[in-house]
Amino acid sequence: MRTLTQQLTQYAAYHRDRRNIATHCVGIPMIVLAVAVLSGRPAWLFAAFPVPLSPVWGLFVVAALYYLVLDVPLGLMMAVFLALCLACGQWLAEQSTLTWLAAGVGLFVGGWVIQFVGHMAYEHRKPAFVDDLVGLLIGPLFVLVEALFAFGWRPALREAIEAQVGPTRINPERAAAHHGR
């Protein structure tokens, strides 16, 4: 299994434009929440559990364990994020079928559109998961790490990633081409 630094470096190689990263900071949480909503049905009540169990529990428990194996502090932060998505997703899944589907599909499609706009308009590169499906799991972690880097968290990790793939930027040539200059 690849290390945290290796996983983040591979993912970061596809995400060096700050505007694309910004689209991911919106789109990826929308997609994770959509998965929680859409996988929140069916739900079963068991006497041993205080909350209804649905397929999303299995997905999120496996994801949280994977994040914990990569890095305990990040894994704990991701587990909190996943728990919040699970709670919100379960609430939406308990609503009418129309509300459940509209919220789930709307978040899912909207999140992917935002991400693809980031890749097409700013990065001009395919998404990471096209070459490695693990990128679907690393994406949410990448968003969290990028947010933490903004606060000066783990500079050595950031430096290790940037040593391999370079710093984030706004590419002036692509920005000028995008604005018709």
Domain extent, residue 87, equals 4-178
Per the CB < 8 A criterion, the answer to whether 89 and 53 are in contact is no
- Residue 173: pLDDT band by 50, 70, 90 thresholds? low
pLDDT digits (tens, 9 = 90+) for 109-154: 999 999 999 888 888 787 777 777 788 899 999 999 999 999 999 9
End-to-end CA separation in angstroms for the chain: 45
Take residue 146 and report the two structure tokens written for it: 């990028």
* Rounded-to-integer distance, Cα 37 and Cα 165, Å: 35
Instruction: Work out how many domains the chain is built from and give that number.
Output: 1
Q: 170 in the Ramachandran plot: left (φ > 0), alpha (ψ -120 to 50) or beta?
A: beta
pLDDT digits (tens, 9 = 90+) for 5-46: 999 999 998 899 999 999 999 999 999 999 999 999 988 877
Report CA Rg, the chain. 18
Residue type, position 141, single letter: L
pLDDT at 172 over 80: no
Per-residue model confidence (pLDDT) at position 45: 76
Question: What residues contact residue 80 under an 8 Å CB cut-off, 6+ apart?
Answer: none
Three-class secondary structure of residue 125 per DSSP: coil
* Rounded-to-integer distance, Cα 72 and Cα 130, Å: 27
Residues 124, 130, 134, 135: what is their CA dihedral angle, to the nearest 10 degrees?
20
